[in-house]
Amino acid sequence: MANADTDDNDMTVTAAEPELIGSWITNAGNTLYLLARRGTAYASIWLARDPEPARIGRVKRAGQQVRSIEWDEPWSDQAAAWKDAQRAQVATALARWESVSV
């Protein structure tokens, strides 16, 4: 069955697949990871948990630069220091990813 990115004769996907950009462990011991697609201005932050991960934030970016992070509920209620720490992790992961993709 064809989808919006393919036709019946060409099975080439035109949209980039999400890539794991980086992961880190918070001070509370939770594992967070960052996913992004090449050629987009967005990335997403996920919390590793069972039975499946939960998206907790969306990053607006310009290359290596983090423009903003929108936190999903209830993570939007986290302390400013926690948000700053996660933003630093996101910035580091994006910088590493962009530097190897050139």
pLDDT tens-digit readout, 28-80: 999 999 999 988 899 999 999 989 999 999 999 987 789 999 999 999 999 99
Please answer whether residues 68 and 83 qualify as being in contact, where contact means their C-beta atoms are separated by less than 8 angstroms. Answer: no
Sign of CA dihedral 9, 15, 16, 20: negative
Helix (H) or strand (E) holding 89: helix 80-100
pLDDT digits (tens, 9 = 90+) for 62-71: 877 899 999 9
- Are 16 and 40 in contact by the 8 Å Cβ rule? The answer is yes
